[in-house]
């Protein structure tokens, strides 16, 4: 199994989700690692959410803020979190990213409710 500690110091990962036609879409996202899982918080009206609802298979790689890939691709499976688990993931994310998380939360309000998922790497 992949050692998630390697990702701990990173700020962004590229999340590859798949359209219905299996075409991959890469999106740089913030993340938190807890209990050997990667947690991602987003908004429920985003494209990645729509894609995850159709296919929970994902790939991740370390990247910079603009999405330029820095590391190897790793396969994983996403799991959509409950409302309670989402609130927990939001707290972890806010702690890791501080003021930037507050700004992002405010700027993304128009894209729906906060929504989170975990990723278990293969």
Q: pLDDT (tens digit, 9 = 90+) per residue, 24-39?
A: 999 999 999 999 999 9
What are the two backbone dihedrals, phi and then psi, of residue 79, each rounded to the nearest 5 degrees? -135, 125
- Map out the domains of the chain with their CATH numbers: 4-121 (2.30.110.10)
Nearest to 17 by CA among 50, 46, 58, 45: 58
Nearest to 46 by CA among 25, 63, 64, 72: 25
| Residue 37: CB atoms within 10 Å | 17
State if pTM tops 0.85. Answer: yes
Q: How confident is the model at residue 1 (pLDDT cuts 50, 70, 90)?
A: low
Q: pLDDT (tens digit, 9 = 90+) per residue, 24-79?
A: 999 999 999 999 999 999 999 999 999 999 999 999 999 999 999 999 999 999 99
In Å, what is the CA distance from 37 to each residue of 27, 34, 78, 98, 118?
Answer: 19, 6, 10, 21, 6
């Amino acid at each position: 199994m992949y050692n998630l500690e390697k990702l701990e110091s990173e700020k962004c990962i590229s999340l590859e989700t798949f359209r219905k036609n299996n075409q991959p879409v890469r999106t740089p996202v913030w993340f938190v690692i807890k209990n050997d899982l990667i947690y991602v918080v987003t908004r429920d009206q985003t494209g990645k959410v729509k894609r995850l609802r159709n296919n929970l298979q994902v790939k991740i790689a370390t990247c910079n803020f603009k999405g330029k890939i820095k590391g190897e691709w790793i396969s994983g499976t996403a799991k959509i979190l409950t409302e309670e688990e989402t609130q927990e993931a939001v707290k972890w994310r806010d702690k890791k990213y501080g003021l930037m998380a507050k700004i992002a939360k405010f700027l993304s309000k128009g894209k729906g409710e906060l929504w989170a998922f975990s990723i278990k790497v293969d």
